[in-house]
Chain A
Amino acid sequence: MEAILIPVHPHRASTGLAPDVDHARLVVEARSGDPGASEALLVLCRRTAFLAALQLLGNREDAMDVAQDALIRLVTSLDRFDVTRPLKPWVITIVRHLVIDLSRRRRVRRADSLEALLAEGGSEPRDGSVSPEQSAEHEEVRRRVARAVSHLPPLHREVIVLRDYQDLSYDEMARILGIPRGTVMSRLHRARSLLRDGLSEYHSGKGGRT
């Protein structure tokens, strides 16, 4: 009998907001007009905003535009932010609305495959525990998955981005998407099934390895 699989919490690449920073305190200080706090808050949020926009749009220039607009919205809506909630879902909610607005207003610029926007190395440990060959293989798998994510319909792409790239919980996703938690799970599962279909050619070529 095989060991029963346990839900995993693998090492992940950073998605922006540092967990050790007191975001609520920064928001409160920024609200009270402290320019230093306001600037620190925006610098913290712009990385999250850019990465979420990049993963949703697949285009660097559009992602920069959306991230800049998101920062402006952030500044003007600081009073509406509930400081008892985490900051990241709020930033991503703003980004998502801007992405939808942009896509409705005009066709976005030519979407690059996410594959082309990956940084070298991923979150591979640098301590020598991974051989160059393994590292190259992991890189190739990350590229294939990114390419498959790029080909998903927006409805499914966004749940993969929110869960697997941005590491949000189902509750946070449900609030951002305005759908019940159960729908988040079924939509995510459907998206993953589509991803698996997209990767099936690779699976058959590599004997089942993702």
Chain B
Amino acid sequence: MNTPCHRTFEEALLSGFVDGELTQADEQRVRLHLEDCPRCRGLVRELQELREVAMASKFSEPNPTEWGELPRGRASTLFRSLGWVLLAVWTAATAAYAVWQVAAGPEGLAVKVLVFGGVAGLVLLLVSVLLDRLRAARTDRYKGVQR
């Protein structure tokens, strides 16, 4: 295995060779090199073994009863999404209207505390979500992965 390797192409081509994904010219280059290089032959064999082992792996799957209901179709799915958006807009508008009415109105302290407390709760929830997103963005394990 200590024979010097005089490879004139990138080592990654060995993976392409194992996967059968090279152009005819590249495959020929690799094949010719492998005839003279025991080191690369060993590497190719290891890569082949790794792939064979991974391909033969079988993962445990859910049994049919574990699956939830199948989506009913585009219309119901779209209505559900639209429903959530409308609900969010309605909540924000109602909260803003309540704050404005109570702030300007003659309601007593108890009513003001109830309304402002509820709205403050909503705002705090929103801020906590934003903070989580911010923290996730800073420690994103997928930064190098294109979306």
Contact = CB atoms under 8 A, between A and B. Distances in A.
Contact-size category for B: 35 or more
Contacts of B50: 145, 164, 192, 195-196, 199, 210
B55 A170 contact: no
Nearest to B17: A7
B45 A179 contact: no
Contact of A158 (B20, B46, B62, B145): B145
B71 A169 contact: no
Given A35-B73, A189-B11, A122 B17 contact: no
Contacts of B24: none
A9 B21 CA distance: 12
Contacts of B77: 72, 75-76
Which secondary structure dominates where chain B touches chain A?
helix
Interface in A1-51: 1-2, 4-5, 7-14, 35, 38-39, 42-43, 46-47, 50-51
A42 B19 contact: no
A158 B45 CA distance: 22
A131 interface: no
Contact of B71 (A4, A5, A75, A107): A75
B56 A39 contact: no
Contacts of B145: 100, 154-155, 158
B82 to A, nearest CB: 12
A117 interface: yes
Interface of B: 10-21, 31, 34-35, 38, 41, 44-62, 66-68, 70-71, 73-74, 77-78, 132-133, 136-137, 140-142, 144-147
